[in-house]
Amino acid sequence: MTIKTILYLIVVPFSILAIDSINFQNVFKKNRYYQARILFMFLAMGLSYLVVNFLYDFFISSV
């Protein structure tokens, strides 16, 4: 396993937990549950990608 894979396994649950605190249901129209969940997952993946790359670059540059 690479260090990035380990970082992803650590960061993804935290990003899902952080984004879960936002209420997306008020932003979407009624009965648009699946679109809201898709946006939720894309935001979680994007946030995870950004955090993992930041941490990876930070660790590499500090060594």
pLDDT digits (tens, 9 = 90+) for 24-39: 777 788 888 888 889 8
Q: Which of 39, 50, 38 lies closest to 14, judged by CA? A: 50
pTM score of the predicted model: 0.82
List of residues 6+ apart from 8 with CB closer than 8 A: 48, 52
Helix axes 3-19, 33-62, angle to 10 degrees: 140
Q: Please list the pLDDT of the chain residue by residue as tens digits (63 residues).
A: 899 999 999 999 999 999 988 877 777 888 888 888 898 899 999 999 999 999 999 999 998
Q: How far apart are CA 57 and CA 25, in angstroms?
A: 35
Number of domains in the chain: 1
Range of the structural domain that residue 33 is part of: 3-62
